[in-house]
Structure 1
Amino acid sequence: MATWDFIQKQILLGDAACGKSSLLVRLTDNRFLQHSEPTIGVEFGSRIVEINEGDDAGKRIKLQIWDTAGQESFRAITRSYYRGAGGALLVFSLTSYSSFANCAGWLADLRAWGEDDLLVLLVGNKGDVLGEGEGAEGGERREVEREEAEEWAREEGLAGYVETSAKSGQGVEEAFNTLTRLVHARAQASLASRKKAGRGSSSLSSAGSSLPGISLAKEAGSAVGGRCC
């Protein structure tokens, strides 16, 4: 017997070394991945969480998260994992402006190979570094300001922008919570619309018109971190 009511698939994508794997480990194991090896192809993590409010309060979801490699050589492999995802976290490092600039290419690739209704949340990782021009541990400095990232996310029609730190845990729950809540709301609204359309077609069917069957399988989720929606 299944221990969840909904399933939601999310993907992590962005340049290599921007902290995608560390974000996944922080979320699933609540620890910092001090020495992360480059992801080979894809890695997987999951979490069972409970929805805390709304019509689905008390129900549980299984969040499936696919961490994709940032290297170009694995692009053909990782693209196959875009399909079926309801949400994507597009990650860049706040200490690397080039990783932010490259988000445009990642987004174009995602839109070409992902689902039409995919929701994308922009995530600026390594938020534990100090401000621009100030010294930081390891010599890293912030190269991307919040205002610029927020503006780009708005221009591209993304679901929003969140800053995180896999090292301290700051914003990690918020990032996954925000995306999961939005994906769940959209999926449930779509399901309600399809149910309504199905009821409205009954008179046509009785008159001899046949409409394609609609699958009402639950494949959306909400809430991450055990406390969210």
Structure 2
Amino acid sequence: MDDYQSTVIKILLVGAQKSGKTKLVSTYQNLEYTEYIQTIGVDFCIKTLQLKINSKRFTTKLQIWDTAGQERFQTITVSYFRGASAAIILFNMNDADSFISCEKYLKQVKQQCSNEPKILLLGNSFSKERQVSTDEAVYFAEQHNLMYAELTDHNYDNINKIFTRIATSVLNTQLEAEQAQQNK
């Protein structure tokens, strides 16, 4: 039987105010989410996953950092970007301005993270009145070489899949780097 390797993956959640960052974390932690609570600065949680990639088994602790979307907290939140292995940039599909702001958040992640994080663009929908189409979001993700996913109130069971996907992507990159180092 293979031994489990222990890993830690730091994931940032960034995006405009009311894009669904806190709701995403609350739901992923299996907490009941009842109302919108404004994040002041940064909130933090840990979730442990058991993953198998190729023949290796991992016990992976996800450190999930929920950053505030308000402009006035930007100077506080960017200090938490260092050491992030991944980022999820959220936007509200019912708010075109939150989608437009993704460019700014992508630039921030790329400038402030000390390595090249895996980035997933996540469209959140809270009603059926969409202002951003899937095609627009997919095009943006493809242009910037990002993973893409969507969540609605009707498919929040996909949250586990999203976090597993981003963690697997980070671990695959780490395994490829280890393999390349061994081949030298």
TM-score (norm 1): 0.73
Q: What does 1:134-149 correspond to in 2, within 5 Å?
A: 141-149=129-137
Cα deviation digits, residues 104-135 of structure 1 (max 9, x gap):
01111111111342111000012x532xxxxx
The number of residues matched between the two structures is 181
> Identity percentage over the alignment?
28
Contact map agreement 1:4 1:62 (CA 8 A) in 2 = no
Contact map agreement 2:14 2:67 (CA 8 A) in 1 = yes
Letter in 2 for 1:56: K
* Counterpart check, 1:79 vs 2:82: no
Letter in 2 for 1:165: T
* Offset, 1:156: 1.1
Partner of residue 148 from structure 2, selected from 155, 161, 181:
161
TM superposition outliers: structure 1 runs of 4+ over 2 Å = 165-168, 191-197
Q: Equivalent residue for 2:168? A: 181
Provide the rounded CA distance (Å) in 1 between the counterparts of 2:160 and 2:149: 10
Q: Equivalent residue for 2:14? A: 13
Describe the shift of the 1:21–1:166 C-alpha distance in structure 2 as closer, same or farther (beyond 3 A): farther
* Offset, 1:53: 4.5
Q: What does 1:60-75 correspond to in 2, within 5 Å?
A: 60-75=59-74
* Counterpart check, 1:100 vs 2:99: yes
* Offset, 1:175: 1.8
Structure 1: gaps spanning 5 or more residues: 131-140, 198-229
Cα deviation digits, residues 146-168 of structure 1 (max 9, x gap):
0110001101121x110013675
- CA-based RMSD of the aligned residues comes to 1.9
Higher strand share: 2
Cα deviation digits, residues 142-198 of structure 1 (max 9, x gap):
11110110001101121x11001367514322221221111110012112323444x
Contact map agreement 1:86 1:119 (CA 8 A) in 2 = yes
Provide the rounded CA distance (Å) in 2 between the counterparts of 1:56 and 1:166: 34
Provide the rounded CA distance (Å) in 1 between the counterparts of 2:53 and 2:77: 34
Describe the shift of the 1:166–1:60 C-alpha distance in structure 2 as closer, same or farther (beyond 3 A): farther
Q: Equivalent residue for 1:43? A: 43
Q: Who wins on radius of gyration, i.e. which is larger?
A: 1
Report the secondary structure of 2:156's partner residue: coil
Report the secondary structure of 2:64's partner residue: strand
TM-score (norm 2): 0.90
* Offset, 1:72: 1.1
Letter in 2 for 1:129: S
Contact map agreement 1:162 1:171 (CA 8 A) in 2 = no
Q: Equivalent residue for 2:56? A: 56
Contact map agreement 1:164 1:175 (CA 8 A) in 2 = no
